[in-house]
């Protein structure tokens, strides 16, 4: 039996087993086995491409990458054509787009890569061919735009989320707060700092020893995590990224449907053909990428507000200095900062100061 068939078997067994206190242990082990097989499947396919990964060969460019993922003919290419200078063929038949097509978005002075991808269908993650390649490419993005046909909305969202999860993508959530420290001896030591309602020590030990052949480790739970979250930590090949759910073609549905979709978490309704809500979409993309604009101010001059330096959230004074000149940190003394990251305007800060969006920074070098 091939790996894909084994996966199907276990999925079917999990689906037909009713979840309760008596079965949760068994289901936990099955999930562990399933995760192992899925990782094996991912590894196998990347070996075939000589460790190159499965993804489409498109260079990253700009400050971030946003991937368009969705069923065929939901309007991904039409969206790329409307928001960027790039032309990607759009048409009324399914699977019009056959490869990855990059375009540039300009938001708040930042250049962001928008990546059009072929449409995918249910089973893409375990099937052969382009579906896996699409999701592998989505794994390299900083944000996923899940584009859907509002007339089919909720089902598409559920099915696609499952496909992405199968390939190790976790949307709109943080990595679980679990640490697993592999040891040489001493057995498995299990501790938690909070009461656990989803897993037991027995289950954790069994998943570690059966599926991972790990018999000596310190396991620490700092949150009430589920068995799926434990498996995510054990498998270790997960990517965590934000996702915006785009319900497109709202020109085709009732106002009640629009109202309903708009209220779903991380969601937006658009009509590409009628250019409805596209400005708000750009604003949502910006917010979810968490980029930071920083303006530099030369001594004795006004800051240059037309040319922000674009940094990732979590950027410090050091990062902006490195952006100005590679040897800047050698002569860095301190910096003055104006903006939301400081209490006093300006405030003197050191090299590890955390910058906020729209801060102004004046670097003072050692004389």
Ligand X SMILES: Nc1nc2c(ncn2[C@@H]2O[C@H](COP(=O)(O)OP(=O)(O)OP(=O)(O)O)[C@@H](O)[C@H]2O)c(=O)[nH]1
- Contact residues toward ligand X (CB under 6 A) are 70, 72-78, 90-92, 94-97, 118-119, 248-249, 251-252, 271-273
Nearest to 96 by CA among 80, 117, 123: 117
Burial 245-270 (b: 16+ CB within 10 A, else e): bbbbbbeebeeebbebbeeeeebbbb
Helix (H, G, I), strand (E, B) or coil at 23: coil
Q: Is 73 in the site for K ion (CB under 5 A)?
A: yes
Nearest to 76 by CA among 55, 97, 60: 97
- 74's contact among ligand X, Mg ion, K ion, none, with CB below 5 to 8 A by partner kind, is ligand X
- Judged by CB under 5 A, which stretch of 92-100, 277-285, 291-299, 302-310 contacts Mg ion? 92-100
Q: How far apart are CA 313 and CA 333, in angstroms?
A: 23
- 166's contact among K ion, ligand X, Mg ion, none, with CB below 5 to 8 A by partner kind, is none
Strands (E), the chain: 65-70, 101-107, 110-116, 143-149, 169-171, 178-182, 188-192, 217-221, 239-241, 243-248, 267-269, 292-296, 309-311, 332-338, 347-349, 359-365
- Judged by CB under 5 A, which stretch of 21-29, 97-105, 221-229, 245-253 contacts Mg ion? 97-105
Q: How far is the CB of 294 from ligand X (least distance, A)?
A: 36
| Beta carbon nearer to ligand X, 90 or 363 | 90
Q: How far apart are CA 97 and CA 82, in angstroms?
A: 16
Which position has the token pair 């040489």?
Answer: 184
| Beta carbon nearer to Mg ion, 88 or 277 | 88
Strands (E), 8-72: 65-70
Helix (H, G, I), strand (E, B) or coil at 77: helix
| Beta carbon nearer to ligand X, 75 or 168 | 75
> Of the candidates 55, 77, 277, 341, which one interacts with Mg ion according to CB under 5 A?
77
Q: How far is the CB of 69 from ligand X (least distance, A)?
A: 10
Q: Is 97 in the site for Mg ion (CB under 5 A)?
A: yes
- Judged by CB under 5 A, which stretch of 6-14, 90-98, 206-214, 298-306 contacts Mg ion? 90-98
| Beta carbon nearer to Mg ion, 77 or 270 | 77
| Beta carbon nearer to K ion, 103 or 308 | 103
- Judged by CB under 5 A, which stretch of 15-23, 72-80, 147-155, 232-240 contacts Mg ion? 72-80
Near K ion in 88-127, by CB under 5 A: 96
Burial 44-56 (b: 16+ CB within 10 A, else e): eeeeeeeeebbbb
- Judged by CB under 5 A, which stretch of 32-40, 69-77, 158-166, 354-362 contacts K ion? 69-77
**Total residues interacting with Mg ion, rule: CB under 5 A:** 4
- Other Cβ atoms closer than 10 A to 168: 21
Tokens of 151: 């007339």
Tokens of 223: 């949150």
| Beta carbon nearer to ligand X, 32 or 118 | 118
The answer to whether residues 276 and 270 touch, using CB atoms and an 8 Å cutoff, is: yes
**Total residues interacting with K ion, rule: CB under 5 A:** 2
| Beta carbon nearer to K ion, 73 or 84 | 73
- 19's contact among K ion, Mg ion, ligand X, none, with CB below 5 to 8 A by partner kind, is none
Q: Which residues bind K ion (CB under 5 A)?
A: 73, 96
Interface residues toward Mg ion, by CB under 5 A:
76-77, 96-97
């Amino acid at each position: 039996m091939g790996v894909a068939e084994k996966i199907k078997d276990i999925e079917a067994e999990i689906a037909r087993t009713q979840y309760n206190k008596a079965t949760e242990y068994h289901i936990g082990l099955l999930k562990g086995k399933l995760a192992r097989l899925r990782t094996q499947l991912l590894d196998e396919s990347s070996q075939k491409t000589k460790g190159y990964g499965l993804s489409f060969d498109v260079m990253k460019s700009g400050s971030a990458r946003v991937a368009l993922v969705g069923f065929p003919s939901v309007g991904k290419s039409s969206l790329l054509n409307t928001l960027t200078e790039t032309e990607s063929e759009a048409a009324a038949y399914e699977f019009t787009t056959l490869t990855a097509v990059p375009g540039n978005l300009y938001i708040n002075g930042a250049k962001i890569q928008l990546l059009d991808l072929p449409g995918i269908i249910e089973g893409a993650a375990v099937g052969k061919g382009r579906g896996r390649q699409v999701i592998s490419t989505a794994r390299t993005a900083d944000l996923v735009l899940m584009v859907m046909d509002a007339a089919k909305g909720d089902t598409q969202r559920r099915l696609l989320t499952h496909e992405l999860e199968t390939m190790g993508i976790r949307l709109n959530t943080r990595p679980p707060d679990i640490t697993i420290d592999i040891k040489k001896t001493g057995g498995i030591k299990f501790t938690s700092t909070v009461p656990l309602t989803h897993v037991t020590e027995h289950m954790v030990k069994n998943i570690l020893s059966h599926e991972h052949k790990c018999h000596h480790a310190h396991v620490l739970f700092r949150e009430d995590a589920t068995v799926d979250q434990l498996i995510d930590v054990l498998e270790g090949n997960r990517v965590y990224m934000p996702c915006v759910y785009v319900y497109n073609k709202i020109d085709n549905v009732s106002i009640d449907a629009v109202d309903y979709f708009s209220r779903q978490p991380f969601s937006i309704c658009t009509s590409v053909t009628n250019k409805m809500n596209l400005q708000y979409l750009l604003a949502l993309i910006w917010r979810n990428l968490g980029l930071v604009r920083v303006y530099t101010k030369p001594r004795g001059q006004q800051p240059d507000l037309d040319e922000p330096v674009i940094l990732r959230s979590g950027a410090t004074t050091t990062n902006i200095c490195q952006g100005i000149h590679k040897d800047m940190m050698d002569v860095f003394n301190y910096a003055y900062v104006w903006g939301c990251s400081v209490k006093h305007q300006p405030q003197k800060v050191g090299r590890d100061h955390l910058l906020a969006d729209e801060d102004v920074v004046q670097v003072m070098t050692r004389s």
